[in-house]
């Protein structure tokens, strides 16, 4: 359903800050794939997600979703295909708007915005039910400004927003990295639940090797702007952190450099 072909991206070309972020990435996802993405600092994990979602334009290569070439499509137009959750809990929601208004904004992803009411009362009921499933007590706070919520609550709401309109692909960019371990576990469990209930195709960037091994049916590892490992099926189920680190050193010829990953 997603075909990324030979993508290259260099930031600040021709300057002292030149950074080759992606050097020929090829990736094909099948419907229902739940891929975890892991890699060292600056390996290109987030860049890859940002290229798919259109935050940056590609230097060369192509991106195709369900047969539609979206390589040159602006970010807001291709948003209809993707649900996104970001590392920073502040990024996914509008702090000065109400919970219900945020959800309603997301419910209209990919649709024309008209002069009809921004949130209908029918929707409010639907959102109340939906928020109940989060078990965070948010169902009684529909009209609270999102800025008043904690990081974990905001990520949970962003997850709902990303999947309110069934996305073709859910893009999770280290969405639990900024949370404390307990909240992080809760949000991950919620992620798993939403993905399996809605049979979503998903890509999850994580710095946590255990999470990368535990979740999903496929794991890719990136290094210096390339995918250097792609493990799925039975082989992935057998994976351990040690085996993964060993494989990394074998393929890349260097040590795994991600402080957070090694400490967690």
- Residue 58 or 79: the one with the smaller Cβ distance to another protein is 79
Q: Return the number of the residue (66 or 250) whose C-beta is nearest another protein.
A: 66
Q: Considering beta carbons, is residue 86 or 256 the nearer one to another protein? A: 86
Residues 6 or more apart whose CB falls under 8 angstroms from that of 72 comprise 57
Which residue, 12 or 96, is less far from another protein as judged by CB?
96
| Three-class HEC string of 124-179 | HHHHHHHHHCCCCCHHHCCCCEHHHCCHHHHHHHHHHHHHHCCCCEEEEECCCCCC
Of the candidates 215, 128, 111, 126, which has an alpha carbon nearest to the alpha carbon of residue 172?
215
State yes or no: residue 53 binds another protein (CB under 8 A): yes
Per CB under 8 A, contacts with another protein among 146-185 are 161
52 close to 26: Cβ distance less than 8 angstroms = no
Q: Taking CB under 8 A as the rule, does residue 94 contact another protein?
A: yes
Stretch that binds another protein, among 57-65, 95-103, 175-183, 191-199 (CB under 8 A): 95-103
Name every residue whose Cβ is closer than 8 Å to that of residue 256 and which is 6 or more positions away in sequence.
Answer: 40, 245, 248, 249, 262
Q: Does 241 bind another protein (CB under 8 A)?
A: no
| Closest residue by Cα to residue 247 from 239, 23, 203 | 239
Minimum separation from the CB atom of position 254 to another protein (A): 33
Q: Does 117 bind another protein (CB under 8 A)?
A: yes
**Closest to another protein by CB, 110 or 181:** 110
Measured distance CA(199)–CA(31) in Å, rounded:
9
Is 123 an interacting residue with respect to another protein (CB under 8 A)? Answer: no
Number of residues that bind another protein (CB under 8 A): 35
Output 138 or 146, the one with its CB closest to another protein.
146
* Stretch of residues binding another protein (CB under 8 A), selected from 1-9, 100-108, 128-136, 241-249: 100-108
Q: Residues 118, 128, 226, 228: which binds another protein (CB under 8 A)?
A: 118
Element spanning 11, H or E: strand 2-11
- The CB-of-14 to another protein minimum distance in angstroms stands at 20
DSSP letter assigned to residue 98: B
Among 115, 121, 122, 242, binds another protein (CB under 8 A): 115
Residue 193 parent element (H or E): helix 181-197
20 phi and psi angles, rounded to 5 deg: -80, 105
Q: Is 127 in the site for another protein (CB under 8 A)?
A: no
Q: How far is CA 201 from CA 34, 112, 193, in A?
A: 6, 25, 13
Q: How far is the CB of 144 from another protein (least distance, A)?
A: 11
Contact set with another protein (CB under 8 A): 53, 55, 74-77, 79-80, 82, 84, 86, 90-97, 101, 104-106, 108-111, 113-119, 161
């Amino acid at each position: 359903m997603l075909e990324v072909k030979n993508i290259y991206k260099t930031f600040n070309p021709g300057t002292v800050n030149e950074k080759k972020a992606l050097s020929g990435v090829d990736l094909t996802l099948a419907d229902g794939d739940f891929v975890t993405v892991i890699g060292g600092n600056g390996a290109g994990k987030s860049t890859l997600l940002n290229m798919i979602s259109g935050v940056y334009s590609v230097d060369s290569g192509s991106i195709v979703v369900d047969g539609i070439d979206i390589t040159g499509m602006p970010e807001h137009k291709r948003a209809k295909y993707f649900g996104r959750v970001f590392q920073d809990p502040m990024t996914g929601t509008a702090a000065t708007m109400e919970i219900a208004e945020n959800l309603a904004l997301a419910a209209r992803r990919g649709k024309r915005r008209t002069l009809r009411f921004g949130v209908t009362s029918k929707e409010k009921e639907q959102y109340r039910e939906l928020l109940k499933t989060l078990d965070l007590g948010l169902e009684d706070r529909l009209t609270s400004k999102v800025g008043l919520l904690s990081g974990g609550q905001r990520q949970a709401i962003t997850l709902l927003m990303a999947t309110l309109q069934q996305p073709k692909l859910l893009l999770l960019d280290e969405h639990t990295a900024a949370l404390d371990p307990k909240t992080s576990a809760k949000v991950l469990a919620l992620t798993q639940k939403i993905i399996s209930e809605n049979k979503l195709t998903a890509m999850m960037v994580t710095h946590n090797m255990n999470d990368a091994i535990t979740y999903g049916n496929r794991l890719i590892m990136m290094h210096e702007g390339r995918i250097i490992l792609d493990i799925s099926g039975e082989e992935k189920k057998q994976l351990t952190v040690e085996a993964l680190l060993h494989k990394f050193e074998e393929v890349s010829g260097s040590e795994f450099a991600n402080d957070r990953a090694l400490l967690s």
